[in-house]
Copies of this chain bind each other. A is one copy, B any other.
Amino acid sequence: MNINNALNELLVVLFKDINEIEEKAIRTGQYKNMTANDMHVIEAIGLNGAKNMSAVAKALNVTTGTLTIAINSLVKKNYVERVRSEEDRRVVLVSLTPKGRKAFHHHKKFHDDMIDQIVKQLDEPEKQVLEKTLTTLAEFFKSKK
């Protein structure tokens, strides 16, 4: 078994596991009814005030039709507020409710904790190599887009 194969298998396993763990972590306690998809939309809306549908859809790389349906569900679950703009009445502005903001922080905390735990496992040279690897990986994907 050469090192390339070993690296490939390790990366595949890591991505699979991290996704799984992250999704499971979302659906705890008061956020039981939230899907991973819901969380992505909540992250894309963010904490900095209202955003229009097109902007959020673009950030998520989905059509506005798709986003409309996701927002319907989030409004029903009371994570998101939807308001028609007064300045341009074609525009719909979405923002997080208090409950939505709490969910945002809940997820961010999970994320921060996860990174902390990863970094805690590594000594300084390992951190350097890992950072270099992830940077290369990010560039590889960027070049493929």
Interface residues, chain A, with chain B CB atoms under 8 Å away: 3-4, 6-8, 10-15, 17-21, 24-25, 61, 111-119, 121-122, 125-127, 129-142, 144-145
Minimum-distance CB pairs A-B, first 9:
A10-B134, A17-B141, A129-B129, A126-B133, A117-B140, A8-B115, A21-B144, A118-B136, A4-B115
CB of A46, distance to nearest CB on chain B (Å) = 13
CB-CB < 8 A to A139: which residues of B? 117
Chain multiplicity (copies): 2
CB-CB < 8 A to A117: which residues of B? 136-137, 139-140
Report yes or no: B136 in contact with A121, Cβ–Cβ below 8 A: yes
CB-CB < 8 A to A141: which residues of B? 13-14, 17-18, 21
Report yes or no: B144 in contact with A14, Cβ–Cβ below 8 A: no
Report yes or no: A8 in contact with B111, Cβ–Cβ below 8 A: yes
Report yes or no: B4 in contact with A119, Cβ–Cβ below 8 A: yes
Contact status of A133 and B130, CB under 8 A, knowing A17-B145, A112-B4, A115-B8: yes
